[in-house]
Amino acid sequence: MTESVIAQQEAQPITLTVEGFGEIEAKSGERLTTALERGGVDILHRCGGVAKCTTCRVEFLEGEPDEMTVAEYDKLTEKELLNVARLSCQIHCAEGMSLRVLQTETSSGLERGKAISEEIQPEPQWTVRPGASTEG
Ligand code: FES
């Protein structure tokens, strides 16, 4: 288990690039789902941001974080989404992220789900994603 480096840094204003939505203002270290929603993206989060539903899934075009919560790893493995998508509710925002949101209210016809908390849930334990630049 490793500590989240990003979470320990002081929040800085950053910009995310989101396909179809343009540039979105965010803070380093905040939950990616939260920043996307505040930026006007109607991203789904059906389970309330606890790594259960996978509806908050995104695909990174640039800046995919190497760190991954164990909860995200386990859920992506279960759903055969490892190396296909990431769960935005399990990710801290960082500079240089460019991504595509894979499920929205508009695209799915579903309601987005209950509000998510400020901190990543469940209490994160960190691992490294398969294929990460720091792996090995
Ligand atoms: S909101 Fe359900 S897995 Fe992220």
pLDDT digits (tens, 9 = 90+) for 21-32: 999 999 999 999
Atom of ligand 1 nearest to the CA of 57: 4
Judged against a pLDDT cut of 90, whether residue 10 lies above it is answered with no
Atom of ligand 1 nearest to the CA of 88: 4
Judged against a pLDDT cut of 70, whether residue 58 lies above it is answered with yes
Does residue 122 have a cis peptide bond before it, meaning omega lies within 30 degrees of 0? yes
Question: Is 1 a domain residue?
Answer: no
pLDDT digits (tens, 9 = 90+) for 98-117: 999 999 999 999 999 999 99
The Å distance, Cα 91 to ligand 1 centre, comes to 11
Question: Is 60 a domain residue?
Answer: yes
Candidate from 50, 74, 114 with most ligand 1 atoms within 8 A of CB, to mutate: 50
Question: Is 48 a domain residue?
Answer: yes
Atom of ligand 1 nearest to the CA of 53: 2
Question: Is 7 a domain residue?
Answer: no
CB 89 within 8 A of CB 34: no
Burial 94-129, CB ≥16 within 10 A → b, else e: beebebebbbbeeeeeeebbeebeeebbeebebbbb
CB 68 within 8 A of CB 129: yes
- Domain range enclosing 61: 13-105+122-128
pLDDT digits (tens, 9 = 90+) for 122-131: 999 999 999 9
* CATH number of the domain encompassing residue 53: 3.10.20.30
Instruction: Let me know how long the chain is.
Output: 136
Q: What is the pLDDT of residue 105?
A: 97
Question: Is 111 a domain residue?
Answer: no
Question: Is 55 a domain residue?
Answer: yes
Question: Is 115 a domain residue?
Answer: no
The Å distance, Cα 26 to ligand 1 centre, comes to 19
What is the domain count for the chain?
1
Range name among 13-22, 85-94, 110-119, 127-136 with the lowest pLDDT average: 127-136
Q: How many CB atoms lie within 10 A of CB 40?
A: 10
Tell me the mean pLDDT in the region 69-94. 98
Q: What is the pLDDT of residue 133?
A: 76
Question: Is 135 a domain residue?
Answer: no
The residues lining ligand 1, judged by C-beta closer than 6 Å to any ligand atom, are 45-47, 49, 51-56, 87, 89
